[in-house]
Amino acid sequence: MIDIAQLRREPDVVKAALARRGVDGAVLDSIIALDVAHRQRLQEAEKLRADVKELSRQVGEARRTKDNETAEALTAQSRELGGAERAASEASDELAATLRGELLMIPNLPSEDTPDGADESDNVEVRRWWVGMDDGAPFPTYGEHQRMPHWEVAKELNILDLEAGVKLAGSMFPLYRGDGSRLLRALGAFALDQHRDAYEEIRPPSFALTETMMSTGHLPKSQDDMYAIERDDLWAIPTAEVPLTSMHRNEILDASVLPIRMTAQTPCFRREAGSAGRDTRGLLRVHEFDKVELFAYCLPEQAPAAHADILARAEGLLQKLGLTYRVLDLCAGDLGTSSARTVDLEVFSPGVDRWLEVSSVSWFRDFQARRANVRYRTESGTQFVHTVNGSALAWARIWAAVVETFRLEDGSVTIPDVLVPYLGGQTHLVAPTS
């Protein structure tokens, strides 16, 4: 949530920043007017409450002096003011709820470093990486055997059964089997082990309360993309970012313990509303996938280093896997609701001839912490922490890129060296013998 105090203090600055994200200034004018009306009603209710308290004191004094006539008159006046105070308080509460609802729909202010732009076509490519580039190797070329899409490779090797997934849960719910399932498990175990030096491993619930979902900014704005269990007021989490952000909800932390770093692998559930018929073959876009998330609560001055660390770890995993990737600096118009700055990593998948997003590394300033009410102590009081998070990594598309990139001419797939220990020494995925 944006800082309403900043909007009051610097309306033009906030309007200019959010205009970069396509937010109409008239929306912010409406919020400013709501805020003024709320504060007026709040002040009115507080004054009436003080007047009622003073009248109560006078009634008590009159009764002590046995001036019953004055006491009755003052009591009648107190009742009248009490009714006005209740009406003003109710009006103030209604305006506060409306104001909060409007603020919950406003995205974060983009950072100064975020490029201008309207949509993904304006994102800025920062760099690319591929095996051997440091030694002068050119951007890789791929043979015909690597140009087979992963769903066809998987069918030959019997490691992905999309039809069974449809039968069990509907379209876009993949079912991995055999070595495909083991490969998925190996990817997660490998990544978690790489982060254990600095990040506490968490295994959070796969479902979250509405309040938990609100804290990250996924609700209310993105509710159409979420799976809801309405009877229990629960939501299937779209990312481990959701529970990790609320680990210290409504707490005040000691600044000396920051940054607090956590990692978690969870299933992630997304409805992918509006994606029907678009990129839905194989594992390009699915309703459920596994992902390792990295997350940090930090002081404002620690945020750049926390962001850089998560990005470096995500890139390091891709390099150890030997996958070609590029780094994109997302423009203001393509940022997620809560983000002030986001850098994406996209892997090249030769079988589909596409760059596939596998990680978003984002800095949220205090936007999420303000919603979750996570603060830290300072000499002058408390301030909201900053939050940073990123995927390291999302496995469905990594799985796809691995089986395409490392497919050999005989149809088998070479397992990246770093995963071999997690597969009991197995070095190749091969078709089952009948």
φ, ψ for residue 386, nearest 5 deg: -100, 150
Other Cβ atoms closer than 10 A to 21: 19
pLDDT at 279: 75
- Residues labelled as active-site residues: 270, 285, 357, 360, 397
For helices 25-64 and 11-19, the axis angle rounded to 10 degrees is 140
The edge-to-edge listing of strands for the beta sheet with 227-229 is 207-209, 234-236, 227-229
Distance CA 276, CA 141 (A): 32
Architecture of domain 120-429: 2-Layer Sandwich (3.30)
φ, ψ for residue 301, nearest 5 deg: -75, -15
- Residues in CB range of 383: below 8 A, 6 or more apart: 300, 366, 375, 376
Q: Which helix (H) or strand (E) holds 8?
A: helix 4-9
- Report mean pLDDT in 10-residue bins for the chain, 434 residues: 97 98 97 97 95 93 93 92 94 96 97 97 98 96 97 97 97 97 98 98 98 96 94 97 98 97 98 70 96 98 98 98 98 97 98 97 98 95 97 98 98 98 98 81
pLDDT at 280: 78
Domain ranges of the chain: 4-104, 120-429
- The CATH fold of domain 4-104: Helix Hairpins (1.10.287)
Which residues of 239-385 form beta strands (DSSP E)? 251-253, 260-269, 288-298, 325-329, 341-349, 354-363, 374-378, 381-384
Which residues of 45-143 form beta strands (DSSP E)? 124-129
For helices 395-405 and 150-157, the axis angle rounded to 10 degrees is 80
Q: Which residues pair with 265 in a beta bridge?
A: 292
Other Cβ atoms closer than 10 A to 44: 17
Per-residue model confidence as pLDDT tens digits over 110-135: 999 999 999 999 999 999 999 999 99
pLDDT at 433: 81
pLDDT at 434: 64
Per-residue model confidence as pLDDT tens digits over 216-256: 999 999 999 999 999 999 999 999 999 999 999 999 999 99
